[in-house]
Amino acid sequence: MQNVAEESAPQGGLRERKKRATRAALVEAAVRLAAEHGAENITVEAISETAGVSPRTFFNYFDSRDDVFVMIGAETSARLRRAVLEAPAELSPLQALRHALAAELAEVEQHHELWRLHAEVLRRSPRLLVRSLGVHAADELGLAETLAERMGADGPAAPSAGEESRRSALGLYPHLLAAVCVTAVRVAFEHWCVRQEERTFTDVFQETFDHLAAGLPAPSGTAGRP
């Protein structure tokens, strides 16, 4: 039951490795098929056949057909939360989160071919895009919890009781900060998708967070000024 010596190894038993491989195969098959033929024209049967499993097995991994298109960033959330906790203590909450996000984005760059296909699929399917937006927004609660932990106690102490109904134990500020930053990353990503040739993503990302940190004032050269 206990972990014997699996601290540095990235995988657990052989079983878990196979599960991860199957899941990854299903996701990759789905994304590639959808990028070519359009997400709406891909059936579960086609995906599972490409991945080499039965249609029934598909539903052992995903609750619905659409889930396979929006569950790519599953591991990102956990990494992000750890990075927030490990950020230098002298940073403000916003700065710490910005720092953690920048590190995570570098990670994503590794798999950028699949991410690019994924973005293409979402762009051509408004229904799936909406679903994806919702999933990312749902991440923010966990992130808000982590921010509250960082703000409340720097050490690993104070696991407050009452783990159920996490919303009620959270202050407004951590929830707002997490939600706004998740949103800001999404906007930066969408903006960059349209202008990939003109600017680097890091550039757009930094400008976005500069707006946030400044309190969202009207940009200099606009008609309606305060």
Among 22, 77, 132, 146, binds its own copies (CB under 8 A): 132
Nearest distance from residue 145's CB to its own copies, in Å?
14
Is residue 56 within the footprint of DNA (CB under 7 A)? Answer: yes
Nearest 5°: phi and psi at 157? -85, -170
Binding mask 207-226 for its own copies (x = CB under 8 A): xx--xxxxxxxxx--xxxxx
**Is 170 within 8 Å of 142 (Cβ atoms)?**
no
200 by DSSP, 3-state: which? Answer: coil
Instruction: Name the amino acid, one letter, at 190.
Output: E
Picking from 80, 82, 202, 70, the residue whose alpha carbon sits closest to that of residue 136 is 70
Nearer to its own copies, 118 or 150 (CB): 150
Nearer to its own copies, 111 or 127 (CB): 127
DSSP symbol at 206: H
If binding is defined by CB under 8 A, does position 118 make contact with its own copies?
no
Of 21, 47, 20, 49, residue with least CA distance to 34: 47
Among 25, 71, 94, 117, binds its own copies (CB under 8 A): 94
**Among its own copies, DNA, none, partner that 2 touches (CB below 5 to 8 angstroms by kind):** none
Contact positions with its own copies (CB under 8 A) in 157-176? 165, 167-168, 171-173, 175-176
- Site for DNA contains 43 (CB under 7 A): yes
Rg (CA), the chain: 20
Q: Which two tokens stand for residue 151?
A: 């703000």
Query: Could you tell me the two tokens for 211?
Result: 């707006």
Residues at the interface with DNA (CB under 7 A)? 13-15, 18-19, 22, 42-45, 53-57, 59-61, 63-66
